[in-house]
Amino acid sequence: MLIIEVDYLTGRAVASDRQSRTQAEWPPHPQRLFSAMVAAMYECDLGDEARDALLWLEQLQPPELLLSEYAERACLETYVPVNDNNSQIVLNRKKRTLKFMSSIDSGIALGRDRKERFFPTIIPFDPIVQFVWKDVAEADLEQHQEALQTLCESVAYLGHSSSLVRVSLADKKAALPQWRLRRKSDPKGMAGATLRGVATGRLQQLDAAFQLSEKTVRRREASDAPWHRYVKTCEGLPTTEKRINAFGDQRNWFVFKRTSGKPLPLQACLALTQSVRKAVCSLGDDDAPAILIGHESDSSPLQRNHVAFLPLANTGYQHSRGEIHGFAIVLPAATSPQERQQIAIRLGDLLKVWMNHNGERTEADLSFDWSVSIASPADSLQSLRPSRYTGTSKFWATTTPMVFGHFLRKLDEPRTAKIVGRACQAIGLPLPKYVHVSPVSMVQGVPPSFRFPSLSSEGKPVWVRYRNGKFTLPKRLPGGQAVRMRYHVAVEFEEPVEGPVILGAGRHYGMGLCVPMRGLKVTKPKEKQHDV
């Protein structure tokens, strides 16, 4: 089996469809990959071995494709100046005369006329795309493997030159939806597309088109035959039973970004999420649905998971500062279509989020006035992408401290492990095999837990006081209410679990929000655990 893997390094694919310049080409056609490898062969002068490998590759059956879902950017018309700097002397064969052409005229002669240009762009949820040839003889593959690897490593982009890629040979198939050739037994109506393929003699056609372009001083394209009908299936994906997370997948996320207003530190997360909840509930002419406000019409607590308001901050990297760039409103997996529609209508009117000062001296001034807008899936900020929090991993760590539902005077390892395990089960996850509780987070850029606010026994926010250079919580609250403990938590599961992982009593206000530790910078927590 031969697998060629394409990794879109910038997280986007810029390529125009051959039939419509304003439409993006997705999935990437096998013919485009083959043409890119041919171009790499000539540009890098890879020799006869690479040419023999391409001649063998064009004789194979059409490959299968493994790729994720995607989002498409709005395509705008742009104007680009001609960038040919050298003047040219062109021979007119009919009149047998020489004509001196300026740089602009020479650019037009090459096909770059004064018209608008389009750069249609696709944002795949997973930047990996694999081309899989199943029926390949092992002896032939071993013969051309080294040349194919050199060809793949020489491909710098696929489509437009801004669509940078890393191309290589892969050992195993990715767990992604599959695009394969349509079969006669397939039912009608299956999702799919018609893709340009490669047939025997394709390399010779590309050579002839290039020679004709040089001869006529105008770009000539080779024909696109053959075309193959592909359908999308889920064949090859893992079929093991998977627990359903209480907060669902990325389709349940409504992400908003800050467009104006001062940035907030991560320890102001509870002030932000409380303000967002009040702003959303105040929108609309009718009463807010119970799944949004968290309680029934008689003010009794809702006996199921309701909407969570999450702060999205810059954390987990070497130079992260922990600033909140936006927030997400996440619906539980059990949300009905009617409730989803009601909430979506309200969120369409959410343009402002504000909060007045709470009257106490805190580390961060809690007065803020934000203008917000819905963030697109292609937003350049990693912290605003739901995939950052909904990945699959065995190891998760908190960016905001987990608020304990039980009252403890000090950290007791067996008891805290049980409390964290119950918090995992409350959102549909299995019991973790390892639990670490500490004032310090394992994610870089996250403040220690004692700088964060907490919740009272009635679920009201309790703000941190900053006095004499120390951060403290009030010891007593009106009415004899107790203050819940909050600590950073790291958990490890036996098998990978799917996020989002939001733990503890304050999970609906963004407390206990975890990120997968895969690909993040990890700092070792303090070994000594102590009370705050």
Beta bridge partners of 295: 301
pLDDT digits (tens, 9 = 90+) for 288-298: 788 888 777 77
pLDDT digits (tens, 9 = 90+) for 325-362: 999 999 888 787 788 888 888 888 888 888 765 444 34
pLDDT at 64 over 50: yes
Please tell me whether residue 493 adopts helix, strand or coil conformation: strand
CB 86 within 8 A of CB 103: yes
How far apart are alpha carbons 461 and 511 in whole angstroms?
Answer: 11
Q: Which residue has the higher pLDDT, 451 or 378?
A: 451
pLDDT at 329: 92
CB 195 within 8 A of CB 27: yes
pLDDT at 437 over 50: yes
pLDDT digits (tens, 9 = 90+) for 476-501: 677 777 888 899 999 999 888 888 99
DSSP per-residue letters across 466-488: EETTEEE--S--GGGPPBPPEEE
Please tell me whether residue 159 adopts helix, strand or coil conformation: coil
Q: Which amino acid is at 209?
A: A
Q: What angle in degrees, to the nearest 10, is found between the helix axes of 138-153 and 30-43?
A: 70
pLDDT at 519 over 80: no
pLDDT digits (tens, 9 = 90+) for 267-284: 889 989 989 988 888 887
pLDDT at 104 over 60: no
pLDDT at 409 over 70: no
Specify the range with the lowest mean pLDDT, choosing from 26-35, 67-76, 263-272, 318-327: 67-76
| CB hemisphere CA count around 484 (13 angstroms) | 24
Contacts of 295 (CB under 8 A, 6+ apart): 301, 302
The arithmetic mean of pLDDT across residues 302-322, rounded, is 86
The answer to pTM > 0.75 is: no
Please tell me whether residue 232 adopts helix, strand or coil conformation: strand
